[in-house]
Structures are given as C-alpha cells and as structure tokens.
Amino acid sequence: MVALEQELPAGLDLEVHGVSHAFDLHGAPLPVLDAVGLRAKPGEFVALLGPSGCGKSTLLRLVAGLEPPREGRILADGRPITGPHPSRVVVFQDPTLYPWRTVWDNVALGLEAQGVLRQRRNRVDEALRLVGLDGFAKAYPHQLSGGMAQRAALARALVNDPRLLVLDEPLGKLDSLTRIQMQGEIVALWRRAGFTTLLVTHDVEEALLMATRVIVFSERPARIKAEIVVDRPYPRHRDDPVLVELRHKALELLGLAGSW
Amino acid sequence: MSSLDDAAVLTGERNRSPTAPRLWLGGLAASAAWLAAAALTALWPEGEEWVRTGEFASLLAVVAGALAFAVPLLRLFGAAGERLRAAAPWLVVLALGVIGWELVTAKLDLLPRPFFAPPQALLEVYLDEWPRLLECTVASLQLLLLGYGIGAFVGFVTGVSIGWSRAVGYWVHPVLRLIGPLPATAWLPIAFFAFPSSWSASVFLIALATGVPVTILTWSGVAGVNPAYYDIARTLGASSRFLVLKVAVPAAMPHVFVGLFMGLGASFAVLVVAEMMGVKAGLGWYLQWAQGWAAYANMYAALLVMALVCSSLVTLLFKARDRLLAWQKGLLKW
Ligand SMILES: Nc1ncnc2c1ncn2[C@@H]1O[C@H](COP(=O)(O)OP(=O)(O)OP(=O)(O)O)[C@@H](O)[C@H]1O
Ligand SMILES: [Mg+2]
C-alpha cells in the first residue's frame, strides 16, 4: 500500500536528546518539558502516557517541527529537525478540519499542498474508506459528529504516507466500540506500512494494546518517569494476563495504584 | 332542522377540502383590491387633467386580472405559486396604498401641488422619458461598478497583505487609521481638481469608499484565522503561497463579505453625491436636474429606479455570498 521511492526504511528514526521547553505565561516562564530524551526506532510504536497538562502535546509540536525546542536536539534519521515536513504527520488533539472544505477536500489537503493530488486521488478515497467515512465525502465538517471529525482528521494524515505518524489522542472523542475498531485499524495499518508511530493517550489500556513501548511522563514539567516494554504479539487482547499486570504497573506509576 | 342541515354541509365541506383545491382567498382579496384601485383611478373625476390616468388604470386592472387568473391555477405554479400565496397580504396592502396615494394626490388634492405627484405622473415619466432614465441608469452602473470593483480588489489585496505581512502592516496600518474613518466624500473638492475629469475623480472616490471597509474587514479576517489551521497545513507540507491562498483567504472570506457589503453601501452614497456635485450623468445627476426644474414626478421616478438598482446589487452580492460561503451554517437570507 505504501510505495516509497527512496531506499529509506518505511519508518523514520526519531531521537529526542535532552529537550527542555518552557512557555511564557503572564511574564513568568512556565517550564513544560524537563530534559526529555527518547528514541523511536524505525517502525516502532511508542505511546506517551502522562497526566493532563504535563507537556505531551508540546513535545509533539516540537517533533513536528512547528516550534524549535529551547534546549536540546531532535533528530529525524540523524538530521536535526528544522521545520515541518510531510514525512512527519501530526493528528492533533483537536481535529480542526477546514470548515470551508468538504470532508474529501479536507482529506486531500496534504496531497494538494504537495502538488501530487492529481496522481493520488484514489488515496483519498482509500483513506476515507479506511476510517469509514466514504459516505460522507461531500459533507461539510459542521455536518459531522465529533468522532467523525476525528476520523476525518486521521484520514487526512494517512493519505500522506507518513514515515512518522504522530497521534495526539486521536480517538478521544470516539464511542468505545468505534474506538476499539479504530485501534485495530491503526495497528493493522502501522504493521502493514511500517511507519514509526508516536501516540499520546490518556488511556492506559489503549497504550498497552497498541504500542510496543510505553513511556510514562511525570507531572509538569514533564520528565520521563518510566518506560514499559510491551513485548506481546498482535492482535492483543485486553484480558491478556501480561497486559493486566502491565496496566497495574502503569497506573501505579501515574499515581493511581488503587484504582483498578 | 335547517341549522342541522347547515352543520352537515359544513362538515361535508371540511371532509372534502384536503383533496379538492382550496380556494385562494388571499388572491381573490388582492385581485379585488387591485380592481378597486383601477376603478377608482379610472372613474373618479380628477381636478386637474393627468395625461396617463387611463393607462395607469389599465395597468392596475391588468394586475387585478392576472391575480384573478392565478387564483384557480396557483397549484400549477409550484414554488413560485407558494411565494405568490405568501405575498397575498402585501399585494392587498400595496393596492390599498395605491388607492390612498391616488386619493390624496390626484383625486382629492390634499397634498401641496407641485411637490407630490400622483402615480399616473410617474407612469407618464416612465413612458415618455425611459430612454433618458435608461441612459442615466447605465451611466450610474458603469461608474459604480468600476469604482466598486477597483476598491474591492485593492481593498482585498491590501487587507490580505496587512494581515499576512508584518512589514506591510507597519507601513499601511497608520495610514489606514488616519484616513479610514474619514468619509470618502470629504475628499470630493480635492479629488475634483486633482483628477483630470470629475468622472475619474468619482471612480477614485467610490473605490476609496469601498476599499476602506473591505481592507479593514479582510485584514481582521486574516488576522483572526485559527493558528491551528496553519499548523495543520504546514505539517502537511504547505508553502507560504498555499497558506495565504488556500488557508488564510478562505478562512477570512466571511469577514471579507461583511466588508464588501459595507463597501457597497458606502459606494451608493458616494455615487449619488458625486453625480450631484460634478458628474454630468447618472441617476444622481438626474435627481438634481429634476429638482432644478421642479419636475417632481421625474424625481420620484428616478428615486424608485435608484432604489431598485441598489436593492438588486445587494441581492446579487447576497447571492454570490450564498454560493461562496455555502459551507457556513445559519446564513442570513436576504
Ligand atoms: N502556547 C502556549 N503558551 C503558554 N502556555 C502553553 C502553551 N501551550 C501549552 N502551554 C502550557 O503548557 C502545558 C503543557 O501543555 P500540553 O498541551 O503540552 O499538555 P498535554 O500534556 O498535552 O495535556 P493534555 O493531556 O491535557 O492534552 C500546559 O500547562 C499549558 O498551559
Ligand atoms: Mg495534549
């Protein structure tokens, strides 16, 4: 399904070295990331878990190249990231579809921006079918439900054949059934296409079901608290005793030991 | 016994009504009202002889006849028929208005004579003067559309540039702040001697009156674009050109249209003033000329044409907006 021109591996090699970042809030610096270091090897699926407001989305913005980090280096295939590139595609927390474009045109955005839409029109239809929105190609975003908008945003990212797919709680607004289905679709797609995936989620179970590695962040400013390797074959089952064990461990790390 | 019979007839009527074509009572009333207006115009003797009273009465009678004709056929007209049905109260009131107008002017002579003309006087103007009115309308439209087009284009480009480029904003913003609030007509004396002709001066003034609101609203639209829209396009490989043309501009479009509407209103005002003050053509000039000759009927006739022209242009702009901004929900219908 992915036809790559170069001999580069399908997945991007992402390295984050000692990245610290801060925002100015009411004149005072608000430290958000504190010496974060991580690596996602080509084809890995890394999940980022952490409390709300700790700085996960901020890290993703830096990885996308939308902002430079105040300290530290971020490398893609060994080269520093200086700006956004369509090989690193982000599905933002908020779907933010363009209200003046139909769903089809929204999904086609990346191909149009790169000037390859004419050759790859069928990719748009494919992506829409994958997220189950083929019947809504001509609808406008205000005619979609919140979950449908999120799925459209996912399709908009997938048509670009990314080498690094960055997902910021892409399934947050979905009902539990669609959510389980989309988790399966994303994992299947990732295994087929071989891109590197970075997934931010609040859902411990989701992280364990999908990722090969789960990185747990502390409260703001985010530091890496622990790393959990999930060495289980796919498709995974939520009642797999190993996963249940890991879930307890992760919840404990997040300070919710008694919850489950 | 007879009251019982009546009741049966009534219920019978009611049972029949869903299938049988309902009588359009509003249409009948409207037709009757127009017929009454025609009769009153034709039969009530007038103090002073108006030349076109007969023609005017016939016109009213034609409207009455058309309405009467439409009553049984309304259902065949489809959507247009529905609109006609909804307009029935207006049609009645219009006819009553014509009757009132006839009475206070031609028939009873209640209003001071030269200033208030009866409707047949307006008809006389249209029948005798139409080539000149048409010429004036065309002249006005040419001036207006040229000035408006230039103003809207320049305003749009300026607005996008200010909203996009800090450097352009640095230079243009102070100028806009100083000049923007000034009514374009204040430039009239200067413009009329600075430009080679009063016509080109008027084009400039109309463009200015249009350009200022279009610039400001376009700018505010571009400045207010959700920054996440840019983030998304940038991560998908968009160039700056794409960000301007495919993100900033469409996102700002609702604001741009507000500016275009404001500019259109301002351009009407400047057009009329410019035609009255210097341009020797157009409906504004005609108004001025008619007033000079105390030809009040001509004045009203021109005013009515002007109202129709302005209203049509606004309608046209609304239509364009509805097409371009079909994606917006809850659009105001004009
Ligand atoms: N542009 C900004 N200016 C100032 N502060 C910001 C900005 N963006 C984010 N922050 C702050 O940085 C902190 C981390 O934000 P971030 O969006 O990265 O959190 P998060 O981990 O993604 O949270 P959540 O899981 O709730 O999405 C927050 O406290 C937020 O207030
Ligand atoms: Mg977030």
Give the DSSP letter of residue B111: S
Q: How many domains does chain B have?
A: 2
pLDDT of residue A173: 77
Q: For residues B227 and B190, state if they share a domain.
A: yes
Q: What is the mean pLDDT of residues B190-194?
A: 90
B184, containing H or E segment: none
Smallest Cβ distance to A110: which of B231, B237, B325? Answer: B237
CA gap B235, A88 in Å, rounded? 7
A109, part of any domain? yes
Contact: B229, A64; criterion CB under 8 Å? no
Q: How many domains does chain A have?
A: 2
Give the domain range for residue B105: 25-111
What's the length of chain A?
260
A241, part of any domain? yes
* Helix, strand, or coil (residue B38): helix
pLDDT reading at B4 higher than 60: no
Q: For residues A215 and A139, state if they share a domain.
A: no
Domain boundary among B93, B111, B129: B111
A2, part of any domain? no
Domain boundary among B111, B139, B165: B111
Taking chain A, what is the end-to-end CA distance rounded to the nearest angstrom?
A: 40
Q: How far away is chain B from the Cα of A136, in angstroms, using its nearest Cα?
A: 14
CA nearest A107 in B: which residue? Answer: B236
Tokens of A161: 């054949």
Contact: A160, B247; criterion CB under 8 Å? no
Q: For residues B140 and B103, state if they share a domain.
A: no
A94 ligand 1 Cβ < 6 A: no
Angle between helices B119-164 and B53-73 (to 10 degrees): 70
Give the domain range for residue A151: 99-160
**CB pairs below 8 Å between A and B: how many?**
67
Domain boundary among B79, B111, B143: B111
Q: Residues B60-86: pLDDT tens digits?
A: 999 999 999 988 888 888 888 888 888
pLDDT band at A45 (very low <50, low <70, confident <90, very high): very high
Q: For residues B216 and B288, state if they share a domain.
A: yes
pLDDT reading at A67 higher than 60: yes
Tokens of B240: 């700056």
Q: For residues A167 and A253, state if they share a domain.
A: yes
Classify burial at B7, counting beta carbons within 10 Å of its beta carbon; exposed 0-12, middle 13-18, buried 19 or more: exposed
Q: Are A32 and A220 in contact (CB under 8 A)?
A: yes
Nearest CA to ligand 1 atom 3: A23
Give the DSSP letter of residue A233: P
Mutation choice for ligand 1 from A19, A21, A25, A32, CB with most ligand atoms inside 8 A: A32
pLDDT band at B334 (very low <50, low <70, confident <90, very high): low
pLDDT of residue B332: 59
Q: For residues B208 and B313, state if they share a domain.
A: yes
CA gap B280, B285 in Å, rounded? 6
Tokens of B250: 């469409």
Q: For residues A148 and A244, state if they share a domain.
A: no
Classify burial at A134, counting beta carbons within 10 Å of its beta carbon; exposed 0-12, middle 13-18, buried 19 or more: middle
Domain boundary among A160, A186, A208: A160
A74, part of any domain? yes
Q: For residues B105 and B169, state if they share a domain.
A: no
Q: What is the mean pLDDT of residues A178-207?
A: 89
pLDDT of residue B45: 87
Q: For residues A176 and A244, state if they share a domain.
A: yes
Mention every residue, 6+ apart, whose C-beta is less than 8 A from residue B54: B42
User: Using a CB-CB distance cutoff of 8 angstroms, which residues of chain A are in contact with residue B233?
Assistant: 109, 113
Q: Where are the beta strands (DSSP E) in chain A?
A: 14-25, 28-40, 45-49, 71-76, 79-80, 88-91, 164-168, 196-201, 213-217, 224-229
Q: For residues B226 and B268, state if they share a domain.
A: yes
Residues whose Cβ atom is located within 5 A of ion ligand 2: A 57, 93
Classify burial at A51, counting beta carbons within 10 Å of its beta carbon; exposed 0-12, middle 13-18, buried 19 or more: middle
B127, part of any domain? yes
Q: Residues B142-190: pLDDT tens digits?
A: 999 999 999 999 999 999 999 998 899 999 999 999 998 999 989 988 9
A94, part of any domain? no
As for the ipTM of the complex, it is 0.88
With a pLDDT cut of 90, the percent of chain B lying above it is 66
Q: Residues A129-160: pLDDT tens digits?
A: 988 898 999 999 988 888 889 889 999 999 99
A1, part of any domain? no
pLDDT of residue B7: 45
A18, part of any domain? yes
Q: Residues A163-173: pLDDT tens digits?
A: 999 999 888 77
Provide the CATH number for the domain around residue A72. 3.40.50.300
Provide the CATH number for the domain around residue B230. 1.10.3720.10
Smallest Cβ distance to A110: which of B236, B251, B327? Answer: B236
pLDDT reading at A3 higher than 50: no
User: Using a CB-CB distance cutoff of 8 angstroms, which residues of chain A are in contact with residue B231?
Assistant: 61, 64, 66, 90, 92
Q: Residues B22-44: pLDDT tens digits?
A: 678 889 999 999 999 999 999 98
Q: For residues B57 and B184, state if they share a domain.
A: no
Q: For residues A184 and A154, state if they share a domain.
A: no
Mention every residue, 6+ apart, whose C-beta is less than 8 A from residue B292: none
What separation in angstroms does the CA of B8 have from each of B14, B16, B292? 10, 12, 69
From the list A178, A89, A188, A106, the residue with the least C-alpha distance to A142 is: A106
Ligand number, closest to the Cα atom of A30: 1
- Collect all residues from B whose CB is shorter than 8 A from any CB in A: 226, 228-229, 231-239, 242, 246-247, 250-251, 253, 325, 327-329
Q: For residues A156 and A185, state if they share a domain.
A: no
